[in-house]
Structure 1
């Protein structure tokens, strides 16, 4: 079947930028219960699996709590009927990111002002 290429865990780790241990952790945590195994018992990942892992990595990098990630993964595993709930979860997460981004920008402005003040103070000393 086209598009169903099965990759080893090391290959999907390289493709996604995740460590092998992180991929195993995500699977053990119930975030990837659909990963297939070959006759040798080793994990075999599809492109869809790799895309899912990249999404999980993105959610984690943006500090989505593992409990919310599990809820999202459960919704995903339940099929297309849960798309509205999944979309709502991602929209809520994006809103929290936007709020964090605004707070970080406010903090950067304060730091830039302080750095400029230090430059003004030390300019005469150089």
Structure 2
């Protein structure tokens, strides 16, 4: 099992894992996985382990927009029209 990167390292990294996004945003893993599967959060998949990597700044911005719109009552279908 690999060692977790420090929060300081994560906060300056260009790309982060979904677990690191959880640490940065406080959003549940299952929620971020759902947003990924619905196409809201784009990722790259490189390397031997094919780990999904998310662009940190772009992903956090999108997550914040999604949360804001959900709090305003937007449905998943409406979000798809906006983000996809």
Indicate yes or no: 2:80 matched with 1:70.
yes
- Tell whether the 8 Å contact from 1:10 to 1:20 is kept in structure 2 after alignment: yes
Q: How many residues align?
A: 71
TM-score by length of 2: 0.71
Specify every segment of 5 or more residues in structure 2 that has no aligned partner in the other structure, as ranges.
Answer: 1-11
Q: If each structure's strand is expressed as a fraction of its own residues, which one has the higher value?
A: 2
Distance across 1 between alignment mates of 2:46 and 2:64:
22
Distance across 2 between alignment mates of 1:57 and 1:35:
19
Specify every segment of 5 or more residues in structure 1 that has no aligned partner in the other structure, as ranges.
Answer: 75-126
TM-score by length of 1: 0.50
Cα displacement string for residues 72-95 of structure 1 (whole angstroms, at most 9, x for unaligned residues): 012xxxxxxxxxxxxxxxxxxxxx
Question: More relative contact order in 1 or in 2 (CA 8 Å, sep 6+)?
Answer: 2
Distance across 2 between alignment mates of 1:37 and 1:55:
24
- Tell whether the 8 Å contact from 1:18 to 1:57 is kept in structure 2 after alignment: no
- Secondary structure in 2 matching 1:11: helix
Q: If each structure's helix is expressed as a fraction of its own residues, which one has the higher value?
A: 1
Cα displacement string for residues 23-82 of structure 1 (whole angstroms, at most 9, x for unaligned residues): 1101111222x21123222221222122112211221122211111000012xxxxxxxx
Q: Which residue of 2 aligns with 1:41?
A: 50
Distance across 2 between alignment mates of 1:4 and 1:54:
18
Q: Which has the larger radius of gyration?
A: 1
Runs of at least 4 residues off by over 6 Å: none
